[in-house]
Amino acid sequence: MSSKYLPLLLHFLENDGIHKEVKATTDQLAQIVGVSQQTISRWLVDLEGLAYIKRHVAVNGVRIQIASSGIHYLQSIHQKLHKALVPGSICGKVVTGLGEGGYYMKKYVPYLEKAVGFFPYTGTLNITIEQDIMPQLEMITPLRIEAFQSDNRTFGGVSCYPLSITAHKKTVQGALLRPDRTSHTPQIIELIASVFLRDVLKLQDGDVVEVKFS
């Protein structure tokens, strides 16, 4: 189907057109999408013919609901956008951390176990990457740990991103941590797993690690 209809379908989607009818006039739709009223009328007929929408004409306008074929089309667009925008795999090099990971991990362990589904080793593996992956991470819904109090201190929230960690032809399941507050630059990412990654993956500073988001 031509992508020219997409802005119109997105308008219906944004107005909950999957679950209910969206009421509007063709003039209103024309102004929203930025085409002529005649074009909107023709597009509505086309979309109805494709079985992408259900259309009911009334005296004061039209009532539109997205049909199952339209939902499938929008889902396919979402999948293509997700594949293009969400990072698949990223490579980085192992670096020595600040030495603070062990202390903080002990405080976060019970929260991390609940969030990521495994009991984490009390330490993080730091790798340095060339690109800033924050724009891509914003396309992924993270597993969240909200800020909490412990020993009269406030420990900040953390976003967790499940992934696989591969080095030397061996793969371990783990997660990337993005603390709300950090001393690291965006090019340093912190990884956790249920095992001591340096030992299990035989890692030394400078070794290349590949991470792939789940």
Q: Supply the pTM of this predicted model.
A: 0.64
Q: Which domains does the chain have, with CATH numbers?
A: 3-85 (1.10.10.10), 89-213 (2.40.30.30)
Given a cut of 70, whether residue 87 has pLDDT beyond it is no
**Residue 177 and residue 188 in contact, taking contact as beta carbons nearer than 8 Å:** no
Please give the helix or strand (H or E) that residue 159 lies within, else none.
strand 158-167
What tokens appear for 40 in the block? 């909107």
What mean pLDDT, rounded, does the chain reach?
91
Most confident region among 73-82, 129-138, 145-154, 163-172 by mean pLDDT:
163-172
Residue among 87, 90, 175, 93 at smallest CA distance from 127: 93
What would the DSSP string read from start to end of 126-147? EEE-SS--HHHHTTS--EEE--
- Over the stretch 161-208, which tens digit does the pLDDT of each residue have? 999 999 999 999 999 999 998 878 888 999 999 999 999 999 999 999
Strand partners, 208: 93
Measure Cα distances from 64 to 22, 40, 43, 72 in Å.
Answer: 5, 13, 12, 17
3-class DSSP assignment, residue 57: strand
Query: Could you tell me how far CA 15 lies from the centroid of its own chain?
Result: 22
**Residue 162 and residue 212 in contact, taking contact as beta carbons nearer than 8 Å:** no
- Other C-beta atoms closer than 10 Å to the C-beta of 90 total 19
